[in-house]
Chain A
Amino acid sequence: MSGAKLDRRKVVRTLLDRRGDLLVVAGLGSSAWDCTAAGDHPLTFPLWGAMGSASTIGLGLALAQPRRRVLVVTGDGEMLMGLGSLATIAAQRPRNLAIVVLDNERYGETGMQKTHTAYGTDLAAVARGCGFAKAEVVHANARIAGVRSEIHRGKGPLLYQIKIASDPVPLVLPPRDGAHLKQRFREALLGKTAAAE
């Protein structure tokens, strides 16, 4: 582990910069707030619950939209709850799917208790073991622009476990109404007529 950890808001802002037609699923808690702070967007689907589901929502979306790039942004605690999904994703080999795990080694919404990554769990190694095309632990700010580029162009499935600081950041909340979040996403992606199917 290197010393200085990255600023989560800067990381996510860089990853979502010039996002083009990227489709984004944001895991519950701070990851969703980070994506909202970078700019609320109809093609971002932020979760407020269903912990452990962000990665499989990303998989369903990536399989349904093979011509679009799909990015899941989630936290270490959320990813740990759905660890088996890494095997499920790898078995499908979706070339258009990337997962970014913002790893502060803490459960940030519940009192900053240590997660398993604080005790040494290497999520990138798990993803590689499952068969991801590429999985990497990221420590340096200098690497983030490259990660952004690979999210748009790299051959997936990809996983980046980005070590971030656990300092508190201001709350920036997305809309909470799940039906609204679902429908605005479908309208932006499929068009109003198809979304009303």
Chain B
Amino acid sequence: MQRKPSRNPPADWSGAIYRALKSHRVSQVSYVPDAGHKRLIELCQADRAMTAVPLTTEEEGIGLAAGAWLGGARTALLMQSSGVGNCINALSLCANCGFPLLMIVTMRGEWGEFNPWQIPMGQATPDALRLGGVRTLRLERAEDAPGTVTAAAGLAFEGYAAVAVLIGQRLIGTKSFGEKP
């Protein structure tokens, strides 16, 4: 797997997202891993004030977010775009109850994608989220990470909205096989 940095030296957008989550008092971070989320997951796992929750499938994170909010805690849910389709029925929790939801989604299937199996769900992701009642914000440039994630967290936790930040595949770097990272 090779990831081309978006800047030289690469800007630490994962660190910026982590700091934005911290400043919004997010204490549970659930995830189905994506290579694009590797550093963010490691930062959350290393933080003793955060509980990192690996999921077997992404919709578990919607239930977790609802339960955490019932208990007075804030969560973020990390996934790649292929996981968005797994969440659709669970999103009715947010639509009916007004549970805040903050999803951080790394996009596949949109920028130089080599795997055709990633393209259908990747292309459907923004519309699928919209139909499920989730507002979307795009993150395309590393320097926008603090502002975009802070805005999304505000919409979620103060606006009681379901929000997804879609991190462009161009920022993450196009995945390829056969090369060492």
List chain A positions with a Cβ less than 8 A from chain B. 23, 25, 45, 48-65, 68, 82, 84-85, 87-88, 91-92, 178-179, 181-182, 185-186, 189-190, 194, 197
Residue with the greatest number of chain A CB neighbours at <10 A, chosen from B73, B75, B93, B97: B97
Contact B97 A178 (CB under 8 A): yes
Query: For A179, what are the chain B residues with a Cβ–Cβ distance below 8 Å?
Result: 96-98
Contact A50 B71 (CB under 8 A): no
A189 to chain B, nearest CB (A): 7
With A50-B90, A91-B54, A181-B97 already in contact, the answer to whether A55 and B63 are too (CB < 8 A) is yes
Query: For B147, what are the chain A residues with a Cβ–Cβ distance below 8 Å?
Result: none
Query: For A84, what are the chain B residues with a Cβ–Cβ distance below 8 Å?
Result: 55-57, 60
B28 contacts A by Cβ under 8 Å: yes
- Other CB < 8 Å A-B pairs besides A48-B96, A56-B60, 14 of them? A54-B63, A55-B63, A57-B64, A57-B66, A57-B70, A59-B53, A60-B73, A63-B67, A65-B72, A178-B97, A186-B69, A186-B70, A186-B72, A197-B72
Contact A178 B96 (CB under 8 A): yes
B92 contacts A by Cβ under 8 Å: yes
A/B interface sample: 13 pairs, CB < 8 A: A50-B62, A59-B63, A59-B64, A60-B64, A60-B73, A61-B67, A61-B70, A64-B27, A64-B71, A84-B55, A88-B55, A186-B72, A189-B71
Contact B72 A178 (CB under 8 A): no
B67 to chain A, nearest CB (A): 3
Contact B70 A63 (CB under 8 A): no
B84 contacts A by Cβ under 8 Å: no
Cβ proximity bits B96-134 to A, threshold 8 Å, 1 near / 0 not = 111100000000000000000000000000000000000
Contact A64 B60 (CB under 8 A): no
Determine the distance from Cα of A130 to Cα of B158 in the docked complex, in whole angstroms. 36
A32 to chain B, nearest CB (A): 14
Contact A92 B89 (CB under 8 A): no
Contact A60 B96 (CB under 8 A): no
Query: For B53, what are the chain A residues with a Cβ–Cβ distance below 8 Å?
Result: 59, 63, 88, 91-92
With A65-B72, A182-B70, A194-B72 already in contact, the answer to whether A87 and B56 are too (CB < 8 A) is yes
Determine the distance from Cα of A185 to Cα of B66 in the docked complex, in whole angstroms. 12
Contact A56 B63 (CB under 8 A): yes
